[in-house]
A and B are shown apart, each in its own frame.
Chain A
Amino acid sequence: MKRLATLAALALVLLVFAAPAAAQAADQKPPDQVAMWIVIASGFSMAIASAFCGLAQAKATAAACEGLARNPGAAPAIRFSLILALVLIESLALYTFAIVFLKVTY
């Protein structure tokens, strides 16, 4: 019970300090020359990220399909690992997108 209270207090402190920290970054604008390069770099980084994540996901899916064709009995286990792997690979592209989104909109 005491540890639970400590955890709750910790979470509360984290939440209280998280809000002002997030609010500070919003009102800085880069100069126009820099903003142009941010947009160009964003496009390229997103393209590279999607390309390689696409390759990785294709490889994972191909391997899973092969495994399923050889051994349909193992379907649930393969499906779990496939979804898990796809999600983890996909999140790499999403990190790139998050950076692009934050950099271009601010």
Chain B
Amino acid sequence: MEHHPTFIGDLFNQLFGGLALALMEMLGIHPHDPLRPIPDHIAIELFIVLLAVIFFLWFRRQLSADNPGGLQLCFEQVLSNSFRVGIYDLLDEIVGHHGRKHLAMVGSVGLFVLFCNVISLIPGFISPTAVHTVPLGCALVVFLYYNWEGLRAHGPAGYGKHFMGPILPLAPLMLPIELISHTARLLSLTVRLWVNMVVSELLYLTFLSLGLVTFTAAWEWNKIAGGVLVFAPLVFPVAFVALHIFVAFLQAFVFTLLPVVYVGGAVAEEH
């Protein structure tokens, strides 16, 4: 989708534009616009990473077991809560034994996706996850991670058996199916997040323009009807901002849940 240039994008291009251009020339990639070699979504993504690292480094020093602050209680709910949907709950329930060691990977991907999703609520920012390369990057990281964990848990031969199906005579049938379904996970993770973010932006735009069209048509026909309908372009889109917040949290949760399921499947003893 086309966007106006953002402030963060301008800033990053001024600071690191030359460096990025040199790096891209070295790899043989030619950017569309040599004056702005860093696209906005990459700049905002880097900004989120920077902000998250600084925030969590500061936050780590505030943690205390005796006197937990409000923020600490909030983040403890992210880890474990009474609905059993925290990250520790997911890992305990699905991966089981030794599941909690995957927290670093799964949690950072989940929080990164969450921050990327909700940052478009701040005016002047766009969601990096509404551009297909960003979810693809997250999905690639998850894909490499769970295969690596599977290899580490079972060894190459043991992990290869996961793809062979339950009994050996079925292996020629099961192998292609399993390989396709594993690579399709990459596709489904990417497309789900990307399309959900694009759709919630499109819905907002569509209902804003519908409201505006209704209002202007009514205003030209009759000033009183127009006066009544002046609320249409103001109120309807706000509902879709609320929907965007809900979808942002839900998709971040899904992007945490599915890696946990994949890791659980890769390190499972027998299935």
Contact = CB atoms under 8 A, between A and B. Distances in A.
A84 B261 contact: yes
Given A7-B148, A16-B27, A83 B257 contact: yes
B268 interface: no
Contacts of B27: 16
B144 interface: yes
B85 to A, nearest CB: 7
Nearest to B152: A3
Sorting the interface of chain B by its residue count into under 10, 10 to 19, 20 to 34 or 35 or more gives 20 to 34
Chain A residues touching B, majority SS:
helix
A76 B93 contact: yes
Contacts, number: 54
B29 A19 contact: yes
Chain B residues touching A, majority SS:
helix
B93 A11 contact: no
Interface of B: 27, 29, 83-85, 89-90, 93-94, 133, 136, 140, 144, 148, 151, 188, 191-192, 194-196, 198-199, 253-254, 257-258, 261
27 contacts: A7-B144, A11-B140, A14-B140, A15-B140, A16-B27, A20-B29, A76-B89, A79-B85, A80-B90, A80-B93, A80-B94, A83-B257, A84-B258, A84-B261, A87-B192, A87-B254, A87-B258, A90-B192, A91-B188, A91-B191, A91-B192, A94-B192, A94-B196, A97-B195, A97-B199, A98-B194, A98-B195
